[in-house]
Amino acid sequence: MTNEALQNLLNDWIPELEFSEEESQFLNITVTPENLHQLMSDLKSNKETSFDYLFCLSGVDWQTELGVVYHLESTTHRHIIVVKVKTADRENPTLDTVCDIWKTAEFHEREVYDFFGIKFNNHPNLKRLFLTEEWEGFPLRKDYEDEINMVIK
């Protein structure tokens, strides 16, 4: 399926989706947090899309918003898309988990929680993965200040 055909199909599912104009070989989609789980579930289960492989899930700090970028592939149809979701709530960033759709997301969502502080609704084991429980802050946020570097200055 071409990117244009994918865009037309997905527009029928959720008209509020945004499709970016950035130069990329993959279709780039931005979805609202409210529509994230439904879109992702449909992308996997619909026979026309069959995105059965989540091969990358990354947290991002866009300074005004926090979010997650998902890279999905259909091993059946051999097409790839990029899905982005953002929240402006930096104090309590919360998104729905997709680990019930792709099991591999469970580990990656824990990593995003650990380094960016994004909480995932309905995640079965959301706790720090690399940092200790007493660690304060989220070191991959752009507003994070490292206490060690502050002492050296």
Domains and CATH numbers, the chain: 3-152 (3.30.460.80)
Continuous segment of H or E residues that includes residue 111 = helix 105-116
Residue 148 is predicted with a pLDDT of 61
Residue type, 153: K
Residue 85 is predicted with a pLDDT of 98
Q: What is the pLDDT along the chain (153 residues), one digit of tens a residue?
A: 889 999 999 999 999 999 986 778 899 999 999 999 999 999 999 999 999 999 999 999 999 999 999 999 999 999 999 999 999 999 999 999 999 999 999 999 999 999 999 999 999 999 999 999 999 999 999 999 887 654 444
| Cα 57 to Cα 100: distance, rounded to the nearest angstrom | 14
Judge contact between 94 and 36, C-beta under 8 A: no
